Amino acid sequence: MSEPTDSDPRAIPLVTADIRPDTAPAVPIGHGQRLVFWIGSIGLLSAAAIDGVAVLGRHIGFTVLGSIELVQVAVVLIASSAMIGATIVGAHAAVHIVTERLSPGGARTARRFADALSALTFILFAVGSAWVAADLWSGHERTELLLLPLRWFRLIWIAATVIIAVLFARAAFARTPA
């Protein structure tokens, strides 16, 4: 039995994925995007530098106490800014298996619904995180080695989820109705 070729009807079709952002035209970079970019960059460079020094130290005989705690703090900045940045430019992952089969009006309605649902999801993240922060606020929760206060990083995360929810809500209501 011979192997199927590209011209053979038995060949398995190649499926490609569209991974471009939902916003087709390039959006000019604003001050908010620049700020988010720089905050994320500082977090990423800090995490890489701290971890690099810690690894180098292990190899040459000294330890950097609390390096994991510092990297975790940097990750709050990285994750928060990355998610806000992705929301600003509309670059969140999206599966178009259903929407590509809808009429243009139906696809717009589905995108509006998805944006509204995403806004609700991030509002729930913010409410849950605020609840946890309120419960632990008077406990003065700190990291184990460096005793870094966690409440401020919780507030950064809560602010990020609120910003993301607002951006999704704005996108949901800004789309032209079907």
How many Cβ atoms sit within 10 Å of the Cβ of residue 65? 12
> Whole-angstrom Cα distance, residue 4 to residue 12?
8
Residues 6 or more apart whose Cβ sits within 8 Å of residue 148: 69, 70, 73, 142
Number of CB atoms found within 10 A of residue 59's CB: 7
Q: Is the pLDDT of residue 153 over 80?
A: yes
- Residue 16 and residue 165: Cα distance in Å, rounded? 31
Between 94 and 19, residue with greater pLDDT = 94
Q: What is the pLDDT of residue 24?
A: 47
- Which region holds residue 65: left if phi is over 0, alpha if psi is between -120 and 50, else beta? beta
**Is-contact 51 88, C-beta < 8 A?**
no
Q: Which of 1-15, 43-57, 122-136 has the lowest mean pLDDT?
A: 1-15
Angle formed at CA 93 by CA 47 and CA 37, multiple of 5 degrees = 35
Those residues whose C-beta lies under 8 Å from the C-beta of residue 133, and which sit 6 or more positions away, are 151, 154, 155, 158
Please report, as a single letter, which amino acid is at residue 137: W
Question: Is the predicted pLDDT of residue 14 greater than 70, yes or no?
Answer: no
How many residues appear in the chain? 178
Q: Which of 13-17, 35-39, 113-117, 132-136 has the lowest mean pLDDT?
A: 13-17
Q: For residue 167, give the H/E element and its range.
A: helix 151-174
What percentage of the chain exceeds 90 in pLDDT? 54
What is the pLDDT, as a whole number, of residue 56?
94
pLDDT in tens, 72-125: 999 999 999 999 999 998 888 877 888 888 898 888 888 999 999 999 999 999
pLDDT at site 6: 56
Instruction: Please give the model's pTM, rounded to 2 decimal places.
Output: 0.76
Domain ranges for the chain, please list them.
31-92, 103-178
